[in-house]
Structures are given as structure tokens and as C-alpha cells.
Amino acid sequence: MAVTLKEVAALAGVSPSTVSRTCKDHPSISEETKERVRHAMAQLGYEPGPSPQAAQNSLPSSYRTIGVILPPSQKEVYENSFYLEAIRGISQYCNHHQYTNTVITGQDEHELLQVIQSMTRSSQVDGFILLYSRQQDPILEYLYNEGQLYVLIGKAYQYANQTIYIDNDNLLAGKEAAEYLLSLGHKKIAYLGSDSSLMFSADRKAGYQLALNLHQLPQPPEYCLELPSIPKAPPDALLALLRSPDHPTGIVVSDDILALILERACMEAGLDIPKDLSIISFNNSLLARLTSPQLTSIDVNSFQLGIEAASQTINHIENPNLVATKILVPHRLIERDSCRAWSFG
């Protein structure tokens, strides 16, 4: 049985990514560590194959490919315009720089990981862009341990200093969303978001909480709802909150799609938007403009996120000794009809 990279790492007392970088003679690894790794390789008889970068450096850039990884999902990811806009930005930049890109999908993490492992073993791609960032992600763990080039759209949760990522300041955006409702006179403000294992949602929730803390406003537990997936019907907890005599007058929603679920729940609860409830959401998707009333939404510039991710990926493919870059893309508030000033009279 062939010796694996992980076995070399265990004998040398380093991480698998350090072994991979040593094979590429990466300058970030000290000579002392390189010698220890090389000694372990010789002791075990490990023979590294050519790296994808080395194999491709002799080819024109038009032969180079970037893998674009969508979150594992059976359906709902493909209905979210954020990912489509990000892919559009990636594709446009790649087209202008003679790179190709391939979209990688999977119904679950196991299926997605199998595809990525197959692609890395056959050197089909030169780098990866993950269109999401979440806590304890086995996909990212694999890419890091194998020493693969990857760029995140979203803030890095692990290996932050070694990870290239493109993001919005979602903490600030969440804070500004809540402060917008506060500026309209709302005091009872709730939050409806995706699972906090997704970094963007965790930061938007934290920003919302920060704004309420700064204004010394109460945050009842039932005012903060998180959904692990997009439900087919409004969840009972949301309907119970809206039907409560002490229901919120404003809600920060982490995504336009969830705002549609909230609008449906308001219809069932007999609440008028924005007379009884003001809604501010995120992404400024087509859905925000098609709803009635149209949604006030924070535009996170997903197209620009895709362009920046592609730019950094290509830059690091062609200049492999660059340090990991972190880029923040600005957001902006788009005011529409789903919010109005709150009168206590």
C-alpha cells in the first residue's frame, strides 16, 4: 500500500498541509521543518507526485480551471440568487483572464467531498472558490490538509491567518439594519436568520444584538429565531411570535428568501406590512423587488464578491508565494416599502 501524505505528517510531527507545502518548496516553511519532513519522506519511501501548479505552469492560462464549490444542498441553494450572482462575477472575471471555471455541487457533505477528492487527485483544477463559510467544515478541512489553494466567500472560521477570504462586514451590516429600525422609532425588534453555523448569519445576528445592547433594549429569547433550512411553511415558533400580544414591530431578516417566509407568516397572523410590522432583509435580490410591499434590503454586492474571489484565486495561482489576503466588499442599504416609522400613539 502506498505511503500517504498523512503518514509522513505524523512521523515528522507536522500537519499534512506542511508536508504538501514542503513538497512545493514553499517559502513559508522553515528550512529546519523542511529537512524534518524530507527525512520522514525518505524514511517511509514517500514519493510525491507533481503538484497541480507545477504541472500547469508550462501550460497557457487558458488551460487552467477554478473549481467553484456550492454549499451541500438537495435543492434550496440553487434557488438562492446570491450564489448565481457570485458565480456570474467569477465567470466574468475568469472569461476576461482566459481561465475556465467549473461548478461543484453535492446533495450532502459526503457526496461533495468525494467529488472534490477526485478532482484534486486527478489535478483537474488549479484552485477552489468556496461560495460559503461555515464552522467545522470538512470540505475546507480537506483542502487545507491537502495544501490546496482555496478562497472563501465569507469570513474564515478556522485557519483564519492562512486563508484567503472575501467578505462583507456582516457584523456592521447587521448592526446598521437594526439601527435603521431604531431610527424609525421601533423598540421591539426581532431577528430571523439562518443557522449560526454559517458565518454570515452568525455575524449579522451579532450585529443586531450589538445595536440593541447599545440602546439598552430587551432581547427576549423568543425574539431571536434561527432556521436550519428554508421551511415549506412558516414554522410554529414564528407564527406564535407574530400572534403574541407583545409581538415585535420590526424584524431584521438575514436573507430575502427568509423574508418571504416571514411575509407569508404575517398574512396567516393577520399582520400588515409595514403598518403592523417593518421588515429589513439582506441580499437585495430580485425577490426583494417582486414582493408586495417591496423589501427594504441590504445589498451585499454578491457580483463584486465573485469578481474579487476570482481575482484573488488567479493572483495566487500565478504568484503562489503571496500571503493570504482578506478583502471586505462594502454593502449598502436599499430603502423600499417594507419599513415605516413606528407610532406609539
- For the chain, the domain total comes to 3
Predicted confidence band of residue 21 (pLDDT cuts 50, 70, 90)? confident
Pick from 273, 276, 251: nearest CA to 337: 273
Pick from 176, 160, 195: nearest CA to 72: 195
CA 325/CA 197 separation, integer angstroms: 23
Domain CATH number, residue 228: 3.40.50.2300
Same domain, yes or no: 45 and 75: no
Domain span including residue 140: 59-168+300-331
Same domain, yes or no: 181 and 232: yes
Q: Which residue has the cell 507526485?
A: 49
Pick from 250, 257, 255: nearest CA to 232: 257
Each residue's pLDDT tens digit, 203-252: 999 999 999 999 999 899 999 999 988 888 899 999 999 999 999 999 99
Predicted confidence band of residue 61 (pLDDT cuts 50, 70, 90)? very low
What global pTM score does this model have?
0.83
Residue 338 lies in a domain: no
Each residue's pLDDT tens digit, 70-83: 999 877 788 889 99
Whether pLDDT at 199 is above 90: yes
Per-chain mean pLDDT for the chain: 90
Three-state secondary structure string covering 220-254: CHHHEEEECCCCCCCCHHHHHHHHCCCCCCEEEEC
Same domain, yes or no: 294 and 220: yes
- Residue 282 pairs in a beta bridge with 298
CA 10/CA 40 separation, integer angstroms: 9
- SS3 state at 60: coil
CA 203/CA 195 separation, integer angstroms: 11
Same domain, yes or no: 222 and 264: yes
Residue 104 lies in a domain: yes
**In the chain, what is the straight-line distance between the N-terminal and C-terminal CA atoms, in Å?**
78
Residue 224 lies in a domain: yes
Whether pLDDT at 52 is above 60: no
For residue 6, the model assigns a pLDDT of 79
Same domain, yes or no: 161 and 305: yes
Same domain, yes or no: 322 and 272: no
Residue 211 lies in a domain: yes
Same domain, yes or no: 229 and 276: yes
- From residue 68, alpha-carbon distances to 47, 79, 86, 143 in Å are 30, 17, 10, 13
Same domain, yes or no: 78 and 110: yes
Each residue's pLDDT tens digit, 261-287: 999 999 999 999 999 999 999 999 999
- SS3 state at 98: coil
For residue 1, the model assigns a pLDDT of 61
Q: Which residue has the cell 500571503?
A: 323
Domain CATH number, residue 1: 1.10.260.40
Same domain, yes or no: 86 and 96: yes
Residue 113 lies in a domain: yes
Whether pLDDT at 329 is above 90: yes
What DSSP character marks residue 154?
A: S
Whether pLDDT at 340 is above 60: yes
C-alpha cell at 91: 465567470
Question: How large is the C-alpha radius of gyration of the chain?
Answer: 23
Each residue's pLDDT tens digit, 91-130: 999 999 999 999 999 999 999 999 999 998 888 899 999 9
Residue 339 lies in a domain: no
For residue 19, the model assigns a pLDDT of 80
Residue 202 lies in a domain: yes
Mean pLDDT of 122-148: 91
Same domain, yes or no: 176 and 282: yes
Whether pLDDT at 344 is above 70: no
Same domain, yes or no: 207 and 294: yes
pLDDT over 70, % of the chain: 93
Same domain, yes or no: 177 and 285: yes
Residue 311 lies in a domain: yes
- 287-295 own/partner pairs: CB under 8 Å, 24+ apart: 287/81, 287/256, 287/257, 287/259, 287/260, 288/256, 288/259, 288/334, 288/336, 289/336, 291/259, 291/260, 291/263, 291/338, 293/336, 293/337, 293/338, 294/336, 294/337, 294/338, 295/256, 295/259, 295/336, 295/338
